């Protein structure tokens, strides 16, 4: 594997990829997307998208990375299809955009950790003032970017792997604990019903593309992050079972986060579920009040651990986001790894400033754009999410499926997936993966892509 470094073993890869997947997407974004998109109907569509579209694309991404031992752009050249490196380039753009706002929200999570540790449970009510305090937010997000760069600079197995192996189990434990507590509160059933009993009339087209975007985002797919991580994965390991574990772990964390959040929302709103659709502030406004109900000491311990773990979960994701452009520049231009890490981190931090200003501090970025046919303006941070998560990532997935099925060819995918997994050649998964990459993903993702752009940005609803 030359001198690029690599994961020490299968668990290392799985931990790092799961670390990339599990993050703000599952704990911050998933609950508020569910809340804003009609509850259980969204959950159902999300889970379906994970299995039908994301699983085959995950296999393809990891296989491409491992086969070539290259970054998201260079991999396509090694396979002999340089013109397809456009997929990797689109991925780089998506990654830079995602990290730019992700780092800002990570700063919120880290800031909440500090506030809760100081016993400031009122911070939930002051959420909007807090996130529009620019000097403070600049400090937190700069700090977060420094931590990210520090880990990435230490390289693959030394930094990324170690951090995740501890963090994921700890996160599971605290979420399950909070979930059990949530179940014991008044109105818990109302919250669970909202979350778990689907009302099919609520499945609108917006629910579908939001859930699809969420599935790609939460599994870190469609932008070459898993091509990059796959490139550090050794050939005697099983890609298929590793992918199943990564997906199962991510869906479980998101699902448990929902089991925890909605009873809390029901409790705080006294069964009315008011505020459930409040968007990005959901966990930040609801949880501090819950921690306060534990009493000061316990509240600080539980609340502090929650926001600390959330920050860690975010960190193992920001690390993978930064690794994508860094691997590209180091592989392709032979740049010095250390300098590249710090330079790219600074660049992306600066690109994140408009997102930081878009929660009230700057009217221009707060009311950044009004889509055609929309009545309300969209802020810059949400706009970037609409572009990168909900549009570019599924587009990347669409292109990866076409590339894999019709250019790289299914036989080569099979050969890579069979390495480290002898049984794959005769397993029932193989024909399903073929159907998915050749037909289901290209056709359906292609259609959804076009309809999403028309619906969201131009107000043209064809369905
Ligand atoms: N999967 C991460 C999350 O859900 O928080 C976000 C993410 C990380 C998206 C890495 C894309 C990526 F390449």
| pLDDT computed for residue 159 by the predictor | 63
Closest atom of ligand 1 to 224 CA is 13
- What is the average pLDDT across 393-408? 98
Neighbouring residues of 74: CB distance < 8 A, sequence distance ≥ 6? 68, 85, 88, 328, 331, 332
> What's the rounded Cα separation, in Å, for the pair 283 and 260?
10
| pLDDT computed for residue 256 by the predictor | 97
| pLDDT computed for residue 147 by the predictor | 94
> What's the rounded Cα separation, in Å, for the pair 225 and 317?
10
Predicted confidence (pLDDT) at residue 403 exceeds the cutoff of 60 = yes
Exposure on the CB side of residue 262, measured as CA atoms within 13 A: 26
Read off the pLDDT band of 16 (50, 70, 90): confident
Closest atom of ligand 1 to 219 CA is 1
- Tell me how long the chain is: 463
Q: Looking at 89-93, 98-102, 303-307, 398-402, which range is the least confident one?
A: 303-307
Q: Which residue has the tokens 């997994």?
A: 421
> What's the rounded Cα separation, in Å, for the pair 356 and 100?
9
Span from the CA of 438 to the centroid of ligand 1 (angstroms): 25
Span from the CA of 293 to the centroid of ligand 1 (angstroms): 32
Burial class of residue 282, CB neighbours in 10 A (0-12, 13-18, 19+): buried
Please answer whether residues 143 and 110 qualify as being in contact, where contact means their C-beta atoms are separated by less than 8 angstroms.
Answer: yes
Read off the pLDDT band of 419 (50, 70, 90): very high
Read off the pLDDT band of 281 (50, 70, 90): very high
List the helix and strand counts (H, then E) for the chain.
25, 0
Residue 278 main-chain phi, psi, to 5 deg: -75, -5
Domains of the chain in sequence order: 10-351+380-450 (1.10.4160)
Give the residue, out of 16, 106, 217, 312, with the most ligand 1 atoms within 8 A of its beta carbon, to mutate for a pocket test. Answer: 217
Closest atom of ligand 1 to 95 CA is 13
Please answer whether residues 199 and 38 qualify as being in contact, where contact means their C-beta atoms are separated by less than 8 angstroms.
Answer: yes
Short-list 231, 415, 194, 443, CA closest to 320: 231
Q: What is the DSSP letter of 378?
A: B
> What's the rounded Cα separation, in Å, for the pair 392 and 92?
11
| pLDDT computed for residue 1 by the predictor | 40
**What is the percent of the chain where pLDDT is above 90?**
90
Please answer whether residues 218 and 26 qualify as being in contact, where contact means their C-beta atoms are separated by less than 8 angstroms.
Answer: yes
Predicted confidence (pLDDT) at residue 7 exceeds the cutoff of 90 = no
Q: Look over the chain and give the mean of its residue pLDDT values, rounded to a whole number.
A: 95
Read off the pLDDT band of 329 (50, 70, 90): very high
Convert the pLDDT of each residue in 231-261 to its tens digit. Answer: 989 899 999 999 999 999 999 999 999 999 9
Ligand 1 touching residue 321 (CB < 6 A): yes
């Amino acid at each position: 594997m030359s001198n690029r470094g690599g994961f020490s073993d299968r668990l290392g890869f799985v931990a790092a990829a799961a670390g990339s997947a599990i993050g703000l997407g599952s704990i911050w974004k998933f609950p508020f997307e569910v809340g804003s998109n009609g509850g259980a109907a969204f959950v159902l569509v999300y889970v379906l998208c994970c299995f039908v579209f994301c699983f085959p694309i995950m296999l393809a991404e990891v296989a491409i990375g491992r086969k070539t031992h290259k970054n998201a752009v260079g991999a396509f050249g090694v396979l002999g299809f340089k013109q397809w490196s456009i997929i990797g380039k689109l991925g780089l753009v998506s990654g830079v955009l995602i990290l730019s706002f992700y780092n800002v929200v990570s700063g919120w999570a880290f800031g909440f950790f500090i506030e809760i540790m100081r016993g400031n449970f009122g911070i939930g009510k002051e959420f909007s003032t807090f996130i529009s305090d620019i000097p403070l937010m600049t400090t937190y997000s700069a700090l977060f970017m420094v931590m990210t760069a520090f880990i990435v600079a230490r390289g693959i197995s030394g930094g990324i792997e170690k951090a995740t192996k501890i963090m994921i189990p700890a996160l599971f434990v605290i979420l399950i604990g909070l979930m059990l507590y949530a179940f014991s509160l008044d109105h818990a059933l109302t919250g669970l019903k909202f979350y778990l009993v689907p009302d099919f009339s609520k499945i609108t087209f917006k629910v579908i593309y939001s859930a699809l975007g969420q599935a790609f985002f939460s599994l870190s797919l469609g932008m070459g992050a898993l091509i990059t991580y796959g490139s550090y994965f050794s050939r005697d390991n099983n890609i298929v079972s590793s992918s199943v574990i990564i997906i199962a772990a991510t869906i479980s964390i998101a699902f448990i986060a929902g089991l925890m959040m909605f009873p809390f929302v029901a409790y705080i709103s006294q069964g009315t579920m008011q505020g459930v659709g409040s968007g990005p502030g959901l966990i930040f406004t609801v949880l501090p009040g819950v921690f306060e109900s534990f009493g000061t000491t316990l509240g600080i311990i539980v609340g502090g651990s929650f926001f600390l773990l959330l920050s860690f979960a975010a960190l193992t994701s920001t690390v993978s986001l930064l690794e994508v452009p860094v691997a590209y520049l180091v592989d392709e231009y032979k740049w010095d790894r250390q300098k590249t890490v710090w330079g790219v981190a600074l660049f992306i931090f600066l690109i994140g400033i408009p997102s930081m200003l878009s929660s009230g501090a700057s009217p221009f970025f707060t009311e950044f754009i009004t889509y055609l046919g929309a009545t309300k303006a969209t802020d810059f941070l949400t706009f970037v999410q609409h572009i990168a998560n909900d549009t570019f990532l599924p587009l990347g997935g669409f292109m990866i499926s076409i590339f894999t099925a019709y250019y790289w060819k299914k036989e080569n995918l099979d050969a890579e997936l069979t390495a480290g997994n002898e049984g794959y050649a005769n397993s029932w998964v193989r024909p399903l993966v073929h159907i998915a990459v050749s037909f289901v993903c290209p056709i359906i993702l292609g259609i959804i892509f076009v309809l999403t752009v028309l619906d969201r940005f131009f107000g043209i609803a064809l369905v």
